[in-house]
Amino acid sequence: MQVLEYGPPISLVDAKQVIEAAEAEASANRWAMVIAVADSTGHIVALHRMDHAQFGSVPIAQAKALTAVNFKRPTKIFVEAVAQGGLGLRLLSTPGLCPLEGGIPLLRDDKVIGAIGISAARSTQDGQVALAGTKVIHG
């Protein structure tokens, strides 16, 4: 397994482009979502709540972005580990870990520059919108 390094924090300009791409995917599917972008230092750079997105999704989107940047992996990995049960259930007691799909690290030159977190729909839909946002950075 490749060990990812942290890179320079994502800029606000890039974070806005990530949000725009994610919002375009959400809008195309008629999903009202919350989109959070964290930088490589674990701080929220930008937060966007689309019209009519539920308020409860604001902290969840942020938690997904922070989980993805802090653990340098998509949150979907934690969903799968918890679903397997057994030792995977230990993850539920990990501080600062949100085991819900929709958080994905943002990489530039194979370094983590931040992460995107999406919340408000089904987990798979959150993941779909997050992936759309990453394409601005990952290409």
DSSP string, 99-128: -SS-EEEEEETTEEEEEEEEESS-HHHHHH
User: Does 1 have pLDDT greater than 90?
Assistant: no
User: Does 133 have pLDDT greater than 80?
Assistant: yes
User: May I ask the CATH class of domain 5-138?
Assistant: alpha beta
In this predicted structure, what is the pLDDT of residue 3?
Answer: 86
The pLDDT mean for the chain works out to 95
Tens of pLDDT, residue by residue over 39-95, are 999 999 999 999 999 999 999 999 999 999 999 999 999 999 898 888 888 888 888
In this predicted structure, what is the pLDDT of residue 101?
Answer: 97
- Domain range list for the chain: 5-138
